[in-house]
Structure 1
Amino acid sequence: MDLDVDYLLANPTDPELVANQRLCLNGRHIERIAPSPDLAGASRRVAMPPFANAHDHGRGFPTLSVGIADGPLEIWMARLGLEPRALSYLSTACAFTRMAEAGIGAVVHCHNTQDGRRLLEEAKGVAQAAQQVGIRVAFALPFAGENPFVYGETADLARFVDNPQAHPQLWAERHKRTLEEGLRIFEELKALETDTFSIQFGPVGPQWTNRETLEKIAEISAAENRRVHMHFLETKLQRDWADHHFPQGIVTYFDEIGLLSPRLTLAHCVWLQPWELDLLIQRGVTIACNLSSNMRLCSGFPPLPQIVRSGITFGIGLDGMALEDDDDILREARLVKGITQALAPGIDGPGDMNLMLPACLKALMQDGRYIVTGSRDGGRLAAGEVADVVVLDTGRIHATAPAMPLTPDILMSRLTHQDVDRLIINGKTIVENGRCRTVSRSDIEAELRSTARFIDARTNTDRQVHDLQMQDGIRRFYRSGAHLA
């Protein structure tokens, strides 16, 4: 396959646009790149490495669309039970097609189970969706079971909820997978791995995972060179909980059990302390930043200037919470750039464009991909590299300023998901003319809507009353300090 483009951005760490290029793809690899004799510099089509979504949950229905309002994470999580029940294949296929059409060629999928007893079946549905859509997917198998409603005992929460008997979820029997059951499922899923689908350990977060599980995962990760992906210090309440339950320091504990390594990705890291970042850097840990989610869920911002200045490997994740629920990771990268510049103003800070542009492009195209695949292969366009390419049409951004010179900074500042023209993964065309051709997005979304089961049958008034009671109870629980008991 020959691909002629007006401009080529081959390496995000050295963002230079080269005009009039032809990419010759041979199977799963780029055979050669040479000047194109058929173009005259129309400045419309730009090829670059695909984008990587370093942390997501693959929701077919954005949470706002099913009545789950944005708000503090600990309140928001309590309402996730309102999500409609749907086949995991349909839900994740919808999410993956949206991502593909936004130029995302790789993603870490952190799976939220809808039925804890059917995790293996749900995981197989995700694998099927990944295979059919065709983007690179790392499936982070969830290991959890602790603190399902609050960071503490459910019975303690019930003491703070008005009319607790009216909230059956507080008393319902919950399936709690044993560590052995989780490891058995993990072993079965290994048979589904391909060169575009892999399995990672996904201890959901330290407040939701017991120490035995964390220590066992650290041991197996080292023995098998297997990646681990987990949420970490996303909110102030999680910071307080960690400081109380790990007086030696939770990052110190992770280091003691051998969890800190280049195999580990920590998502969010909003409440990370400077000495903890230093230790993560020493151990080669990677970070997934999720700024839209942090804004929408009232979590705060990670220490972006320190992260950028340190040179730690970090990726950019949407967390299923893009600002407009459109999976626009280009806009997310602009948030990283813009907020870093705002937090570190001045000509000598890490917000300086000479540093920020390549840092954001590298996070978007290379480091995020490493978080997904665990390999430094890819993330650049050159002979012998894997045939992963995204092509964007700059016609829209040129329409308002036709004489504007095309530069990497202009691309970073103006392009959005709607400018994606083509996505090629592993030599296979996934998106063409802005539409996913492997799975029809409109068809799969229609099937999801027609088959999803909305489980909350209460009237809107009843639901609002119950929601307010639960939210008020959760707030009182945390105000009391019960999570530090």
Structure 2
Amino acid sequence: MTVEIATARWIVTGVTKDGVLEMLDDAALAHQDGVVLAVGPKAEVTNAYPDANVTAHSHHMIIPGLVNSHHHIGLTPLQLGAPDYPLELWFAARLAMRKIDPYLDTMFSAFEMIASGVTTVQHIQGWAMGDFDQVVASASGVLKAYDDIGMRVSYCYAVREQNRFVYEADDEFCKRLPPDVAKVMAAHFAKQTLQFDDFMQLFDVLVDQNDTARARIQLAPANLHWMSDDGLLAIQEKSSAAGAPMHMHLLETAFQKEYAFKRTGTTAVKHLEKLGLLGPHMTLGHGVWMTQEDIEICAGTGTCVCHNCSSNFRLRSGVLPLMELQKRRMTVGMGMDEAGINDDRDMLQEMRMALTVHRVPGMTITDVPSPAQVLRMATEHGGMTTAFGAEIGRLEPGRQMDAVVLDYDSATYPFQDPDIAPLDALIHRAKTKDVQSVMIAGRVVYEDGAFTLIDRAAILAQIAEALAKPRDEEEQERHWLREQVFPVVEEFYDGYLQNTSQRTPFYQGSSST
């Protein structure tokens, strides 16, 4: 392929380990076959490649492609009929969600992600109904959607062996229900109960079927309460043998912290350390309820964490003590989970939220995140939580050419004082309207508000047509089931917090005395 050059008013190559922004003024970036060749002063790069095609971005900033490090579904649960509740009740509310084809569903959120600058997503699928072949078909539909739209995806299927509805065995929960309800609930469980060996085979099948460099397959033990110790050890063995990283939900809520104590007599992190699951290959999604010692253990083992700021707020899960992790130079990515604060996947807004949420009272600058640190979470550190690792996340020779072109003039109109650093201004002010173009593997997949490979209007029309139909018999049954089991779930968690109810907050936002 011909060498391509993009010039810009500013090019951000990355952020140092000390949180210092690496940015070039009046710069150029050369790339070929989806890989960055050179980044430097415009004259220097253009002279080095005199035959290259040059695209000029005179009032723009080019940044590394953003990484959504934790993602599940396309249309949001709210769209599909599940209102926000605390996480444990939310699972019950989700029973009544409408069905949607996995391909169309994935396309919906891919549109939103790319339009906000996301070039790579960690897609954690789960809860697919049916037998092995049906689950393979569902996973294949997800992967095909990302391939068709040109997006980079690190894909995994969340393995769940037990406790699929509340923090006790499925059959024990069914005993809490009236016989007629228990029968329907048991049938519902049976539709999503792959054997453990099937989960491992699914990984092998998807690896064998994958024929695009923009997709990687990794592993996902769903959460401690969903996994047995034997299952965790088996997945760790598979991860080591295949060289595939893992992503695991952990300590999203106080109830999960309590569950870990009830089951193990210690913290979830200590238990995983004992089993040998921690390390740079493991990303812990959420991690809100880690103790000080848990954080030290994760830092010492090089374990990664994914911060899901919006999700934690929406589901009343808590606030990750982000700066405790930053002080230890941990790898912390950023995810939007099921949906952001506006019930969408706007990574620019997610970055802004992460920047502002952790602004604790006081005057010490290092007590709060900087725009550069937040950008690093959403780029290089996010990349390290995926199966692409150091191939993405920075714009430097040898890395993948995933980049976002932001229109500085549009974002700052009608005025922005130059005393404010350009990146700071964009982190605070840029919206999706200011994303001029998005490049993935060197190819422009989004430009001037339009997708270059897919007809967005046609996809949305298919979704609208499918969901305009009345609920089918199976959906009606699940809707009825939700109404029957929801109060039982509420009762199950009433008084559940016994051993971990005492709390010393990392953050103190106000005082009552």
Q: Normalization by structure 2: what TM-score?
A: 0.85
Aligned mate of 2:461, from 424, 441, 446: 446
Distance 1:385 1:272 in 2: 33
Tell me the equivalent position of 2:180. Answer: 165
Q: CA deviation at 1:481?
A: 4.0
Q: Equivalent residues in 2 for 1:173-252 (5 A)?
A: 174-175=190-191, 176-193=193-210, 194-252=212-270
CA contact (8 A) 1:98 1:441 kept: no
Aligned mate of 2:451, from 436, 439, 452: 436
Distance 2:126 2:182 in 1: 22
Distance 1:91 1:369 in 2: 24
What CA deviation, in whole Å up to 9, does each residue of 1:355-408 have, x standing for no partner? 623221111110101112342133222344321111011233322325555522
Amino acid at match of 2:434: D
Tell me the equivalent position of 1:389. Answer: 403
Q: CA deviation at 1:451?
A: 2.9
* Identical-residue share of aligned pairs (%): 25
CA contact (8 A) 1:262 1:285 kept: yes
CA contact (8 A) 1:7 1:21 kept: yes
1:322–1:168 CA distance, 2 compared to 1 (3 A)? farther
Aligned mate of 1:30, from 30, 36, 61: 36
Residue 78 of structure 2 aligns to a residue whose secondary structure is: helix
Residue 25 of structure 1 aligns to a residue whose secondary structure is: strand
Distance 1:428 1:459 in 2: 40
Q: CA deviation at 1:212?
A: 1.6
CA contact (8 A) 1:113 1:122 kept: no
Residue 147 of structure 1 aligns to a residue whose secondary structure is: coil
CA contact (8 A) 2:285 2:308 kept: yes
Unaligned runs of 5+ in 2: 47-53, 500-513
Distance 1:274 1:456 in 2: 49
Q: Normalization by structure 1: what TM-score?
A: 0.90
Distance 1:364 1:237 in 2: 28
Q: CA deviation at 1:253?
A: 2.4
Q: CA deviation at 1:157?
A: 3.7
Distance 1:283 1:35 in 2: 39
Q: CA deviation at 1:83?
A: 2.3
Q: Which moved more, 1:369-378 or 1:283-292?
A: 369-378
Distance 2:35 2:167 in 1: 48
Residue 387 of structure 1 aligns to a residue whose secondary structure is: coil
Residue 134, structure 1, aligned to residue 137, structure 2: no
Tell me the equivalent position of 1:145. Answer: 161
* Bigger relative contact order, structure 1 or 2 (CA pairs below 8 A, ≥6 apart): 1
What CA deviation, in whole Å up to 9, does each residue of 1:312-371 have, x standing for no partner? 1010000022011231112112222212222x63315421xxx62322111111010111
Residue 52, structure 1, aligned to residue 54, structure 2: no
Q: Which moved more, 1:10-19 or 1:440-449?
A: 10-19
Aligned mate of 1:345, from 354, 362, 380: 362
What CA deviation, in whole Å up to 9, does each residue of 1:39-75 have, x standing for no partner? 9x99731101010001011x23111122211110111
1:243–1:399 CA distance, 2 compared to 1 (3 A)? same
Tell me the equivalent position of 2:428. Answer: 413
Q: CA deviation at 1:192?
A: 3.1
Tell me the equivalent position of 2:504. Answer: none
Distance 1:383 1:158 in 2: 57
Tell me the equivalent position of 1:8. Answer: 11
Superposition RMSD in Å:
2.8
CA contact (8 A) 1:203 1:229 kept: yes
Residue 2 of structure 1 aligns to a residue whose secondary structure is: strand
CA contact (8 A) 2:379 2:393 kept: yes
Tell me the equivalent position of 1:272. Answer: 290
1:481–1:380 CA distance, 2 compared to 1 (3 A)? closer
